[in-house]
Chains A and B, each alone.
Chain A
């Protein structure tokens, strides 16, 4: 099986997939964090393969291929927070049916837990966490709408 529309044929180290999603250009080292988002038990039955530190035109990248599942908009937003350069390729019948660059959302609700233990969103109240996303040249940081605490480096550790 060759992949017609790939200019990186020789780099494919995993079986081509018939239907599913390829998340490409993940910031090197972030693949396992992306897996935390898309790999929640019960969300996919198919094979997932992960490439870490794959060579790319701008240094290294991680790539994830998911068989039999097209990922959804909510997952898109989360991925954007930790891998702002990722592209999402939907594969249908072995071909790239659509390709989208992730979009960093301006605001997220119920996606990340506030790191401030004394924040009202971390108590027994009927509210979701809410963050305003700041994106300075793809340096992403979050500011809690309730307590204003900033999360920058460890966003992945605080995904809900």
Chain B
């Protein structure tokens, strides 16, 4: 497996072996992520963190990952990015930044932007979200969380919320197709997963089940993966209220759940998960968010060629 200078654009670019290797590496680096051990793995490497859209979690966890490994961050936040580029197109910006950094971590509002960026430079590009497109590092951390906190191979998972536009969910389903997952999709019909994606999954040997009942879906699963439902998707606010309430996770709903059920959420949440759930053994979303650090450490170290 050669990771050095690999572009991380879409989960579809990663084989099962590659994903496993990233997760294994993350395991080894976890003590460094927790600051229990020191490391110089990324010493001498400069990573440009180029965000054209606001983000806290993804950007901070990338920056933490780099700093824990003693690499350098060249950070342009959303505001800086727009003033630095002053109407310059992305292709030009990338060709400028490649002269400053050993790797480019990109968040951009247009779908396909990361793929184009990678074509413009030989410096490795990591897609940290391209519009409604891909967000592969989120998927790596989701998989890592399942492996650490529940199980990944053969996991029974219910995925709930906005399955139509939610980019994390599509990548996640593709990745889970490598692990013989048993997937149930929970969403109102307005927000069902697009037909093409269901068909792609079928071609990869994964038959997903669909339901709009949260209660049915969580009966017998290892993991419940909840995503945010955006108000803007609903022309009628009353409709939004109805749908978001029907999918809300409360301690009441979890009374009869499998005691080992783990609940994940890519965060930020609005009101999909009642705060009472935070104190149950089911809540896994804050750990999940921390796991973004070791997973991004692993990916960066491999791509920079600093570890094998």
Of residues 107 through 129 on chain A, the ones whose CB sits less than 8 Å from some CB of chain B are 116, 118-121, 123-127
Selected from B90, B109, B116, B119, the residue in CB contact (under 8 A) with A118 is B109
B115 at the interface (CB under 8 A from A): yes
Asked whether A146 and B112 contact (CB < 8 A) given A118-B131, A118-B132, A127-B119, the answer is: yes
A132-160 to B contact mask, C-beta < 8 Å, 1/0: 00000000000011111110000000000
- Asked if B112 contacts A121 (CB within 8 A), the reply is yes
Complex interface bits, A51-77 against B, C-beta within 8 A gives 1, otherwise 0:
000000000000000000000000000
The complex places the Cα of A119 from the Cα of B113 at a distance, in Å, of 8
The answer to whether A123 and B119 touch across the interface, beta carbons within 8 angstroms, is no
B89 CB-CB contact with A under 8 Å: yes
Chain B neighbourhood of A144, CB < 8 A = 112
**Interface size range of chain B in the complex:** 10 to 19
Chain A: residues with Cβ within 8 Å of the partner, total of 17
Task: List, in ascending order, chain B residues with CB within 8 A of A125's CB.
Answer: 89-91, 116
CB distance from A160 to the nearest CB of B (A): 17
Q: Annotate B105-139 by CB proximity to A: 1 below 8 A, 0 otherwise.
A: 00001111101100100000000001111000000
**With a CB–CB cut-off of 8 A, which chain A residues contact B115?**
120, 145-146
Q: Do B91 and A146 touch across chains, with their CB atoms under 8 A apart?
A: no
B112 x A147 contact (CB < 8 A): yes
Q: Which residue of the partner chain, among B90, B112, B196, contacts A119 with CB atoms under 8 Å?
A: B112
CB closest chain-A residue, reference B108: A120
Query: Could you say which residues of chain A place their CB within 8 Å of the CB of B90?
Result: 120, 123, 125
Contact A118 B110 (CB under 8 A): yes
Q: Which residues of B contact A119 (CB under 8 A)?
A: 110-112
Interface set, chain B 75-119, CB cutoff 8 A to A: 89-91, 109-113, 115-116, 119
Residues in chain B within 8 A of chain A (CB atoms): 89-91, 109-113, 115-116, 119, 130-133, 196
